[in-house]
């Protein structure tokens, strides 16, 4: 498949700060690609490098096979939806959406027609005369999206675009963005620190930590088969077992991840009557009820683990001793930290 954006050992350092550090990346044409990582991990800097607002201090970037060095942002066929939307408050919605077309010298009638088309795409037909201040947060977000799509870029960069929206609207916009990406066939590069959002929306996810990419893969890859303890912990708060414990369990001294939903609690009585029923002994240190599941905090020696119990199943008491068991296939061995 054609490559939309290619990074070859790209770095962007600011003095001592390694915002982006020797990153290799290959985003495919037409893909919904998520960059996932905690605050300060280099996601925004990576987007700015693609957009052309920043230059790498080392390495090489290509966009659709063409060297990006020396190509200014407006010639890259790449648009950005910024985190804060960055709409012009004194302009109408229509003029906001058509702004880039006006700068490019397109006539008034034509650019207004294109703006209306883009507003229809984001389900805001007829909103052109309003000012941004007369819109809700979700509607402003859509205007920013329409503005970025109006000239049909080949790559759309979205920097935490849903961060300011409440949960319900966020979930609705996630589906709409996904649908829009499918129907337009534009490559989307979507930045988020929300693992659920990345997993539910993306074809592939790159997990960032401290300017480096820890893993690139499908949502299933990074959730079920994390390469490193960082990925296991960040993508879905998995239990990370240290090498010495994993050696006792499997003979191999490497870290391993074990998903909270893969842990089964075995009552003290059951464990006593069948020594094979449990692999580890734990103490229940905390319980939090969240509706669909109860999260159980467990102490295993000096390790804190968690398990999830679906609603309707028996829940242990705080302080109780329980056994832990799991399907051996769900213990996922990893590399040491990268």
| Shortest Å, Cβ 113 to Mg ion | 35
Which residue lies nearer to ligand ADP by CB, 7 or 127?
A: 7
| Shortest Å, Cβ 15 to ligand ADP | 7
In a 3-state reduction of DSSP, which class is residue 217?
strand
Is 192 among the residues that bind Mg ion (CB under 5 A)? no
List residues binding ligand ADP (CB under 6 A). Answer: 14, 17, 19, 37, 39-45
| Shortest Å, Cβ 43 to Mg ion | 5
Which residue lies nearer to Mg ion by CB, 127 or 208?
A: 208
Which residue lies nearer to ligand ADP by CB, 30 or 40?
A: 40
Judge residue 18's burial from the number of C-beta atoms within 10 Å of its C-beta, 0-12 exposed, 13-18 middle, 19 or more buried.
middle
Dihedral sign of CA atoms 304, 310, 311, 314 in order? negative
- Of 4-63, binders to Mg ion (CB under 5 A) are 44
Tokens of 58: 């080392």
Q: How far is CA 97 from CA 121, 141, 176, 208, in A?
A: 12, 12, 19, 32
| Range 180-190 burial, b when 16+ CB lie within 10 A, else e | bbeeeebbbbb
Which residue lies nearer to ligand ADP by CB, 11 or 181?
A: 11
- Of 242-301, binders to Mg ion (CB under 5 A) are none
The entry of Mg ion, ligand ADP, none near residue 40 (CB within 5 to 8 angstroms by kind) is ligand ADP
The entry of ligand ADP, Mg ion, none near residue 325 (CB within 5 to 8 angstroms by kind) is none
Tokens of 119: 């507003």
Pairing of strands 212-217, 204-209: antiparallel
Which residue lies nearer to ligand ADP by CB, 20 or 156?
A: 20
What pairs with residue 207 in β-bridges? Answer: 36, 215
Binding site for Mg ion (CB under 5 A): 44
């Amino acid at each position: 498949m054609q490559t939309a954006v290619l990074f070859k050992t790209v770095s962007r350092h600011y003095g001592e700060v390694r915002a982006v550090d020797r990153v290799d990346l290959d985003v495919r044409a037409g893909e919904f690609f998520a960059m996932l990582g905690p605050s300060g991990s280099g996601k925004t800097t990576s987007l700015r490098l693609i957009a052309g607002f920043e230059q790498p201090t080392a390495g090489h970037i290509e966009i659709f096979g063409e060297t990006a060095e020396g190509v200014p942002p407006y010639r890259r066929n790449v648009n950005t939806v910024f985190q804060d939307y960055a709409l012009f408050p004194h302009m109408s919605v229509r003029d906001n959406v058509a702004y880039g077309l006006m700068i490019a010298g397109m006539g008034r009638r034509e650019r207004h027609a294109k703006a209306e088309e883009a507003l229809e795409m984001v389900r805001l037909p007829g909103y052109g005369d309003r000012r941004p201040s007369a819109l809700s947060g979700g509607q402003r977000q859509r205007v920013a999206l329409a503005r970025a799509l109006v000239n049909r870029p080949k790559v759309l960069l979205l920097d935490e675009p849903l961060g300011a929206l409440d949960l319900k609207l966020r979930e609705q916009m996630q589906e709409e963005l996904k649908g829009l990406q499918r129907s337009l066939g534009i490559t989307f590069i979507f930045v988020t620190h929300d693992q659920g959002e990345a997993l539910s929306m993306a074809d592939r996810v790159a997990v960032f930590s401290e300017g480096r990419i820890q893993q690139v893969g499908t949502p299933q890859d990074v959730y079920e088969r994390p390469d490193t303890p960082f990925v296991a912990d960040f993508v879905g708060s998995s239990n990370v077992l240290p090498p010495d414990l994993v050696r006792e369990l499997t003979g191999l001294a490497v870290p391993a991840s074990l998903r909270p939903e893969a842990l089964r609690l075995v009552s003290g009585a059951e464990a006593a009557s069948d020594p094979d029923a449990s692999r580890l002994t734990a103490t229940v240190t905390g319980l939090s009820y969240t509706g669909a599941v109860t999260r159980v905090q467990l102490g295993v020696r000096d390790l804190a683990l968690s398990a999830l119990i679906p609603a309707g199943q028996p829940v242990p008491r705080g302080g109780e001793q329980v056994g832990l068991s799991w399907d051996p296939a769900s213990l996922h061995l990893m590399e040491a930290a990268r």
